[in-house]
């Protein structure tokens, strides 16, 4: 499916949801949805409102961004995920799952791809549960933080040997 198709499908899904719930459609909501569905990465409400106030030709208030996100979530268009204690929103049309490597030192988060893991989780059988997506968080240290930890350990060891010599 190309980028435009998924965007159009998301718009249609929103229209259907609004009609079913007797809610009115607004250009602002569409603009917020378009932004989410033209990006692959997850976004925080803060980032989203910043983007909407800087880049959008419409005036989209923070309240509208927050309301829209809640509405999209109810409509099954976005889901909330927690990354490093930060609440992010991601589109739901990607059921490919996300593998994240999270550094406990600096908090840097990298997404990685491992087809074997994806396939295994995709084949996983869940009882009385329909899986619509998944996130796998791996915790550890990035190479910079690991090197800095090693340096500190070495320094500590050297100090200790100095003390032992005295």
By CB under 5 A, how many residues form the interface with Zn ion? 6
Rounded CA separation 149/41 (Å): 30
Does 65 interact with Zn ion (rule: CB under 5 A)? no
* Residue 106 in contact with Zn ion, rule: CB under 5 A: yes
Min dist. Cβ of residue 83 to Zn ion (A): 15
Residue closer to Zn ion (CB basis): 44 or 109: 109
**Residue among 30 and 145 whose Cβ is closer to Zn ion:** 145
145 binds Zn ion (CB under 5 A): yes
Which residues are CB-contacts of 79 (< 8 A; sequence separation ≥ 6)?
73, 89, 90, 92, 132, 133
How far is residue 56 CA from its own chain's centroid?
Answer: 22
- Cβ distance to Zn ion smaller for residue 39 or 146: 146
Q: Which stretch of DSSP H or E encloses residue 135?
A: strand 135-140
Q: Least distance in Å: CB of 145 to Zn ion?
A: 3
């340096």: which residue's tokens? 151
What does the alpha-carbon distance between residue 160 and residue 105 come to, in Å, rounded to a whole number?
24
The structure tokens listed for 103 are: 């550094």
Q: Does residue number 103 form part of the binding site for Zn ion (CB under 5 A)?
A: yes
Task: List interacting residues with Zn ion (CB under 5 A).
Answer: 103, 105-106, 108, 142, 145
């Amino acid at each position: 499916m190309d980028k435009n198709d998924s965007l159009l499908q998301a718009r249609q899904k929103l229209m259907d949801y609004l009609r079913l719930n007797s809610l009115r459609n607004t250009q602002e909501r569409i603009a917020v949805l378009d932004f989410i569905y033209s990006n692959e990465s997850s976004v925080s409400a803060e980032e989203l409102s910043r983007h909407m106030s800087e880049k959008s030709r419409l005036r989209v208030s923070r309240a509208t961004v927050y309301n829209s996100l809640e509405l999209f979530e109810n409509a099954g268009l976005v889901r909330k995920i927690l990354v490093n204690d930060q609440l992010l929103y991601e589109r739901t049309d990607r059921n490919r799952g996300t593998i994240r490597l999270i550094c406990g030192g600096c908090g840097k988060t990298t997404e990685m791809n491992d087809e074997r893991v994806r396939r295994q989780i995709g084949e996983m059988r869940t009882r009385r549960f329909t899986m619509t997506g998944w996130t796998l968080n791996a915790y550890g240290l990035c190479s910079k933080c690991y090197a800095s930890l090693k340096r500190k350990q070495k320094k500590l060891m050297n100090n200790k040997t100095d003390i032992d010599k005295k």
